[in-house]
Amino acid sequence: MIEVIKPGLETCIQDWPGRIGYLNQGFPPSGPMDSWSFRLANLLVGNHAGDAAIECQYVGPVLKLHSDAIIAITGANMHPTLDGEPIPLWESVAVSAGATLTLSKPPQAGVRTYVAISGGIDADPWLSSRSTFAKAKVGGVSGSALRAGDRLKWNAGKGTAGRRVKPSARPPVEGGSPWTIEVVRGPNDDWIDEAGHDRFLSSDWKLSGKSDRTGFRLEGPQWTFTEKAYSKEPEHGSEPSNIVDQGYPIGAINLAGQTPIILVNDGPSMGGFINPYTVPSAAFWKLGQSRPGEIYRFKTVSIDEAQQMARALTVICQEDSIA
């Protein structure tokens, strides 16, 4: 059992790839923001890459383990300690019953840290996933971020201490701003004129503090539109970025008036704004490790290139990356 002494900031249970197949019912996938770090944490402790684990952000929790365990911590460096003694990231570590794990020091680079335990967190699945979707109060522990006094169980595991992720297989979390974020044009790129596209791709975009696991709001220059954004039927709405309600892909850059919002893991499934670009899933780890005030620079890739990025990341997140 793990006892939550201090919960940290919106620490929650997630699994990967999350709640797949229910977006048409209004339930997004949720899951880890940085699936690269998440999957490697699980592999370190002998789990399947997608088993339920803990996601921390900005300030992590203080946890007391009441049984012997094998754990691993990846992602941003919150300077974890066991009973006050530093422990390494990207390595499986043996923990004795009664030890206290602390991750309460904010990282200097990156945002999110992952804690995996051999056997995986034992939480009741909801729509085939243990991922927390706090806005609907489902998944994880009672559908919410962890709270002081929560007690987590885990399944029996076969992890061993001393396994390490090869340096070449770790995401460059400390690369920091400016971040180059890949995007695919569409589905509504034909509503933006060429000057608008050029401006989007050549400008610096600042991540706003008004961002969360639903959407990442960006600050930058004005958008300009094609004629179809103005010469449209009334049901499309009055603003040039309005459109008849449509489905939103995960990763869509949703243009609400003049404000682009990247729809991330807990984002809405539909609405009445255009989506000129979409961030592919393999680039999400960069979003998950960026912080308000940092700069995004966008780079277009084709659908084939986006799919190749996802395949390459899957290859990295396998046992061959563990030494």
CATH number at residue 211: 2.40.100.10
- In this structure, the answer to whether residues 11 and 149 fall within a common structural domain is yes
Domain limit, last residue, from 165, 187, 213:
165
**pLDDT number for residue 267:** 96
Residue 198 maps to a domain:
yes
Domain limit, last residue, from 143, 165, 187:
165
pLDDT digits (tens, 9 = 90+) for 28-66: 999 999 999 999 999 999 999 999 999 999 999 999 999
Angstrom distance (rounded) from CA 283 to CA 87: 29
pLDDT digits (tens, 9 = 90+) for 180-190: 999 999 999 99
**pLDDT number for residue 187:** 97
Residue 323 maps to a domain:
no
Q: Which pTM does this prediction carry?
A: 0.95
Domain count, the chain: 2
- In this structure, the answer to whether residues 7 and 149 fall within a common structural domain is yes
**pLDDT number for residue 287:** 97
Domain limit, last residue, from 116, 131, 165:
165
**pLDDT number for residue 244:** 95
Residue 147 maps to a domain:
yes
Residue 156 maps to a domain:
yes
- In this structure, the answer to whether residues 185 and 282 fall within a common structural domain is yes
Residue 150 maps to a domain:
yes
- In this structure, the answer to whether residues 93 and 220 fall within a common structural domain is no
**Domain limits at 211?**
176-316
Angstrom distance (rounded) from CA 322 to CA 309: 20
- In this structure, the answer to whether residues 229 and 157 fall within a common structural domain is no
- In this structure, the answer to whether residues 50 and 192 fall within a common structural domain is no
- In this structure, the answer to whether residues 10 and 142 fall within a common structural domain is yes
- In this structure, the answer to whether residues 13 and 138 fall within a common structural domain is yes
Residue 322 maps to a domain:
no
Angstrom distance (rounded) from CA 202 to CA 144: 39
**pLDDT number for residue 318:** 96
- In this structure, the answer to whether residues 92 and 155 fall within a common structural domain is yes
Q: With a cut of 70, which residues of the chain have pLDDT below it?
A: none
Residue 136 maps to a domain:
yes
- In this structure, the answer to whether residues 64 and 130 fall within a common structural domain is yes
- In this structure, the answer to whether residues 183 and 57 fall within a common structural domain is no
- In this structure, the answer to whether residues 185 and 105 fall within a common structural domain is no
Residue 308 maps to a domain:
yes
